[in-house]
Amino acid sequence: MGAITPGVRLHDLPQGTVEERIRMAGELGFSCIQLPSKVLYASMGIDRGGLTRELADHLRAVLDEAGVSVAVLGCYKNLATPDRQQLMDNIAEYEACLNFAQMLGGCPVGTETGRPNAQNRVADDRMTDEALDAFADGLAHVCDRAEAVGGQILIEPGWNETVNTPDRCREVLERVSSPSLGVIYDPVSLLHPSVVDEAQEITARMLYLCGSKIRVLHAKDFEVVDNEDEAGWCDGTGSRLVCHGVGETGRYDFEPVVAWAAAACPGIPCVVENSVPATAADCLATLEHMSARCGAPHREL
């Protein structure tokens, strides 16, 4: 088994139906995909009520034909919202996705870690203890449902969300001690302009504190630009991060993460993020080269 199983987000591929994009992923050489529920809904003209056994069987046939699996079914609804009705509706969305993930073959459901306002806007309130309390409470409800169906819910920490450091991630894992809970680790998502020079130290801390719970990797790169014109990836320094596919800028060295995977969890899904149609193949080649240098040839993946 190789170090990683390389994948791609479906919405980073050229426009098309879900079926067409699954085939594109396979033709490019990716072995797995991240399938966001909103992309599926838009393509099929459905909401969560359309997540049926028939649809799952149809998608499994398309996936099998393309030689591709689903690494993550994305459901990015805010679990830290203070709006109780919104929270209940969001939890119902997770429940539907968890059930559908089982029909698809048992893939995990992935989520970000929310923000403690009903608008889900990026603001300083995400840094508070109260924000972490709210997220942990919402997550616990989803974990109960995941356990009931034998599924998995994976949280993705990120600077723009409530769980925005390795230590806050560890705290959530300790507070919500569910066997169904795991982590999607995107090293660049935990960075912001003030700490980019400490990127490898932050990576090492995340792997130390949370490595045993990491089930999926996200692979991307970044650049720092001199403006804070948009919300997110900012820290008050006047700069912000702009994200790119893995290897595109050379600012983040992803190879130590691949080396960790080779030793700790060979074959882990590793999904390229923020590529564009013109760069997806190069991002895959970057992962293949890293895997080879870590002693794990891609074609065994």
Which pTM does this prediction carry?
0.96
Q: Who's near 59: CB < 8 A, 6+ residues apart?
A: 18, 19, 22, 104
Q: What tokens does 37 get?
A: 């529920």
Digitized pLDDT (tens) for each residue of the chain, 301 residues in all: 689 999 999 999 999 999 999 999 999 999 999 999 999 999 999 999 999 999 999 999 999 999 999 999 999 999 999 999 999 999 999 999 999 999 999 999 999 999 999 999 999 999 999 999 999 999 999 999 999 999 999 999 999 999 999 999 999 999 999 999 999 999 999 999 999 999 999 999 999 999 999 999 999 999 999 999 888 899 999 999 999 999 999 999 999 999 999 999 999 999 999 999 999 999 999 999 999 999 644 433 3
Would you tell me the crossing angle of helices 199-210 and 166-175 to the nearest 10 degrees? Answer: 10
Among candidates 7, 11, 1, 51, which has minimal Cα distance to 26?
A: 7
Query: 2.60.40.10, 3.20.20.150, 3.30.530.20, 3.40.50.300: which CATH number matches 4-220+250-300?
Result: 3.20.20.150
> Structural domain boundaries of the chain?
4-220+250-300
